[in-house]
Chains A and B, each alone.
Chain A
Amino acid sequence: AQTVTQSQPEMSVQEAETVTLSCTYDTSESNYYLFWYKQPPSRQMILVIRQEAYKQQNATENRFSVNFQKAAKSFSLKISDSQLGDTAMYFCAFMKPRYNNNDMRFGAGTRLTVKP
């Protein structure tokens, strides 16, 4: 079974600075997808960024980028120019597409606080 580990339960960063959230995963599969989701306090989970394992190029979405190291099974999220609205729980998730399911396996999350 695939497992996802987020080793940083909590992190904080000053507004406008850069922060990196760590994620490692364990799988024997070669074809899979990785995601970072953001869950603001009392609000719903939204997608931040996704990465297809077959793509070597790291995904980027505006201020958010990933460092995908397939051999090391590492998938970290970098947030540049942090904003107060980035304060949230961040979850790393793994998906192995199968014919009968595409459920995601989530890490325990990292609580990020952006300080003014």
Chain B
Amino acid sequence: GAGVSQSPRYKVAKRGQDVALRCDPISGHVSLFWYQQALGQGPEFLTYFQNEAQLDKSGLPSDRFFAERPEGSVSTLKIQRTQQEDSAVYLCASSLVTSGETQYFGPGTRLLVL
């Protein structure tokens, strides 16, 4: 079956622009995670959805970051008024249920803010 997909794969934005990053999880997966991966670092947690409910957004670095999953499948991470420090790879992961399940990652969106 299809894995987790993300689009776009690459995004170049001018500082101050808004961007929207899309994640299509594996069909039927309840849990969806967004992570931010800076160059040469491990991923860091941003936010978590269980179906359409955003249960944890403690990792979002500022109120410029917003995520949604309105129908419990596709999710969008939106960054408003992008800053250079937002440049990173944004990874989406999904898992079938909740407790202790393996997370399956998408290829990521590489965002470069100029």
Q: A residues touching B (Cβ–Cβ < 8 Å)?
A: 4, 33, 35, 37, 43-47, 50, 52, 91, 93, 95, 97, 100-109
Q: B residues touching A (Cβ–Cβ < 8 Å)?
A: 3, 31, 33, 40-45, 48, 50, 55-56, 59, 91, 95, 98-108
Dominant secondary structure at the A interface: strand
State whether B55 touches A101 (Cβ < 8 A): yes
Whole-angstrom distance between the Cβ of B36 and the nearest chain A Cβ: 11
State whether A44 touches B100 (Cβ < 8 A): no
A102-B100, A103-B45 known; A44 vs B105 contact (CB < 8 Å): yes
State whether A35 touches B102 (Cβ < 8 A): yes
Cα A93 to Cα B44 with chains together (Å): 11
State whether A44 touches B56 (Cβ < 8 A): no
Known contacts A100-B50, A108-B40; can you find 10 more A-B pairs with CB under 8 A?
A35-B102, A45-B43, A45-B105, A50-B102, A97-B98, A97-B99, A101-B55, A102-B101, A103-B48, A106-B43
Pick from B33, B41, B108: contact of A103, CB under 8 Å: B33
Interface-centre pick from A44, A46, A50 (highest chain B CB count, 10 A) = A44
| In the complex, residue of chain B having the shortest beta-carbon distance to the beta carbon of A50 | B102
State whether A102 touches B99 (Cβ < 8 A): yes
Total inter-chain residue pairs, C-beta < 8 Å: 60
| In the complex, residue of chain B having the shortest beta-carbon distance to the beta carbon of A31 | B100
Whole-angstrom distance between the Cβ of B59 and the nearest chain A Cβ: 7
Pick from B42, B48, B107: contact of A43, CB under 8 Å: B107
State whether B103 touches A104 (Cβ < 8 A): yes
Pick from A46, A105, A107: contact of B105, CB under 8 Å: A46
State whether B45 touches A105 (Cβ < 8 A): yes
| In the complex, residue of chain B having the shortest beta-carbon distance to the beta carbon of A47 | B102
Cα A73 to Cα B3 with chains together (Å): 32
| In the complex, residue of chain A having the shortest beta-carbon distance to the beta carbon of B103 | A104
17 A-B pairs in the complex with CB atoms less than 8 angstroms apart = A37-B105, A44-B106, A44-B108, A45-B43, A45-B91, A91-B42, A101-B55, A102-B98, A102-B99, A102-B100, A102-B103, A103-B33, A103-B45, A103-B48, A104-B45, A105-B45, A109-B41
